[in-house]
Amino acid sequence: MIRAATVDDVAEIRSLIRELAEYERAVEQARASEEQLRAALFGGHPAAFALIAEDDDSGDVVGFALWFPRFSTWTGTRGMHLEDLYVRPHARGGGHGKALLASLAATCLRNGYERFEWWVLAWNEPAIDFYKSLGTEFLDEWTVCRLSGEPLRELAALAPSAAAPTLAS
């Protein structure tokens, strides 16, 4: 069963994020607190949205997907960025990942989103094979760029003050 996450799921979502970070060999980078997740998912202006996968027999949470809207200047439309997709190891192969992605694809179409995009680690062959089975297009000509920490602060220090508005959180 796939359902929209509720505020009561925040602790479980945080636990799933930590499990995903362990799987991706980056647990030290998963620092989001329950309070941050609660505000991001259920605050006055949600920054992201989440779906929960439950085991049909036990009702236990076995996975989740967390996404947020994005905008394409080329198409002039919104799209969806899938930030996290995770199914617990014991539940893999049970159709939960596919059901989560199908639910997200339906959300895209229902909202007029033309693109549904996400990243996958190059070494994660099981996920890559799964995505290929769905007909996913891999954009090998694009490279992900990230600026954080001290380099981000150094570049920000060069900005004219009026050019850096504060957005609502």
pLDDT at position 36 is 98
For 56-98, the pLDDT digits (tens) are: 999 999 999 999 999 999 999 999 999 999 999 999 999 999 9
Nearest C-alpha neighbor of 138 from the set 151, 153, 127: 127
CB 97 within 8 A of CB 82: no
**How much is the pTM?**
0.90
Say how many C-beta atoms besides its own lie within 10 A of residue 78's C-beta: 15
* 156 within some domain: yes
* 168 within some domain: no
Whether the pLDDT of residue 104 is over 60: the answer is yes
pLDDT at position 168 is 62
For 105-136, the pLDDT digits (tens) are: 999 999 999 999 999 999 999 999 999 999 99
Task: Give the CATH number, domain containing residue 92.
Answer: 3.40.630.30
What is the C-alpha end-to-end distance of the chain, expressed in Å?
31
Confidence of residue 143 (pLDDT cuts 50, 70, 90): confident
Nearest C-alpha neighbor of 34 from the set 20, 13, 4: 13
pLDDT at position 96 is 97
* 62 within some domain: yes
Edge-to-edge strand list for the sheet holding 2-4 = 2-4, 49-54, 61-72, 77-87, 116-118
* 23 within some domain: yes
Site of tokens 């905008």: 71
For 15-37, the pLDDT digits (tens) are: 999 999 999 999 999 999 999 99
Question: Which structural domain range is residue 53 located in?
Answer: 2-163
* 8 within some domain: yes
Interval 99-103 mean pLDDT: 97
Confidence of residue 163 (pLDDT cuts 50, 70, 90): low
Report how far residue 51's alpha carbon sits from residue 104's, in angstroms, rounded to the nearest whole number: 8
* 115 within some domain: yes
pLDDT at position 166 is 66
Active-site positions? 131
Task: Provide the domain count of the chain.
Answer: 1
* 169 within some domain: no
The proportion of the chain whose per-residue pLDDT surpasses 70, expressed as a percent, equals 95
